[in-house]
Amino acid sequence: MTLLKINKLTKSFGGLTAVANVNMEINKGELVGLIGPNGAGKTTVFNLLTGVYRPTHGTITLADGSQEIALEGLKPHKICSKGLARTFQNIRLFKELTVLDNVRIAMHKNVAYGLLSGFLHLPSFKREEDRLVEESLRLLEIFDLADKKDELAKNLPYGEQRHLEIARALATKPKLLLLDEPAAGMNPAETMRLSEIIKRIREKFDLTILLIEHDMSLVMKICERIYVLDFGMVIAKGTPEEVKTNEQVIKAYLGEGVEDA
């Protein structure tokens, strides 16, 4: 079943077309990679999917049961409530807040008490807040962050900040998780652990994942299908094996051979 369908997605900034006629389909439960050289438009695709940018042309549709929801033109918080969550290439945590607060804030849309209860701290407030803490801790447990719940996010080591960002994205209860270079800046051991975690959360939360990554060992190891982007266009798609041997991909990454040199 197709969960997300991107049709002829285009984004131009003035004269520059960052994303041109991109078509993608992501099935439910898949783990799909999106790769390409620097400046290929990968993050722009993410920003279009999550509503940070409005597409110039094209449609994005998310399957919700038997319904289809058009995502293009919606505000980011609306898209999040439809079930898309993301992490950022350059970590964007709530730095001055605690680890627990970072996760709790992301549960905002599922909190069942009103403004009045917030002002007066009625029983419903207490009940819900207890539930939030409990659920947050369970989530943090997966990333071994539960015992650091009172630490400020900015004080975490780099790798754990990346983990916390994923935990925060999961707290919004997404159907589709978008990871923007989750392994950037990690050493091989950390990357290894990350790939284990990605596998684990995927099973546990019944997730579909789309990830951008430069670390080819990670991409080739965990992705089932890969889309390759260059100059804003999809130049190849298929299994890791197919993509690896695709001539156009090699050309995009390594440049063209010069024959009469």
Minimum CB distance to other proteins, residue 256 (Å): 38
Pick the closer one to other proteins by CB: 5 or 131.
Answer: 131
Task: Provide DSSP, 237-257.
Answer: EE-HHHHHH-HHHHHHHH-PP
**In this structure, are residues 167 and 193 in contact, taking their beta carbons and an 8 Å threshold?**
no
Nearer to other proteins, 25 or 128 (CB): 128
Contact 28, 22 (CB under 8 A): no
Residues that bind other proteins (CB under 8 A): 50-52, 75-77, 80-81, 85-86, 88, 92-97, 101, 104-109, 111, 113, 115, 117-121, 125, 128, 132, 168-169, 171-172
User: What distance in Å separates the CA atoms of residue 242 and residue 240, rounded to the nearest whole number?
Assistant: 6
Identify which of residues 8 and 54 has a Cβ nearer to other proteins in the complex.
Answer: 54
Q: How far is the CB of 257 from other proteins (least distance, A)?
A: 42
**Angle, CA of 254, 260 and 261, to the nearest 5°:** 70
Q: Which is nearer to other proteins, 88 or 227 (CB)?
A: 88
Contacts 24+ apart (CB under 8 A), 134-140: 135/107, 135/171, 136/100, 136/103, 136/104, 136/107, 136/171, 137/100, 139/103, 139/167, 139/170, 139/171, 140/99, 140/100, 140/103, 140/167
Q: Which is nearer to other proteins, 25 or 135 (CB)?
A: 135
What is the rounded CA–CA span in Å between residue 164 and residue 169? Answer: 9
Cα-flanking dihedrals φ and ψ of residue 68, to 5°?
-125, 125
* Nearest to other proteins of 108, 138 (CB atom): 108
Contacts of 162 (CB under 8 A, 6+ apart): 87, 91, 182, 183, 184, 185, 186, 194
CB of 183 vs other proteins, minimal distance in Å: 20
Residue whose CB is less far from other proteins, 105 or 220: 105
CB of 78 to other proteins, least distance (A): 8
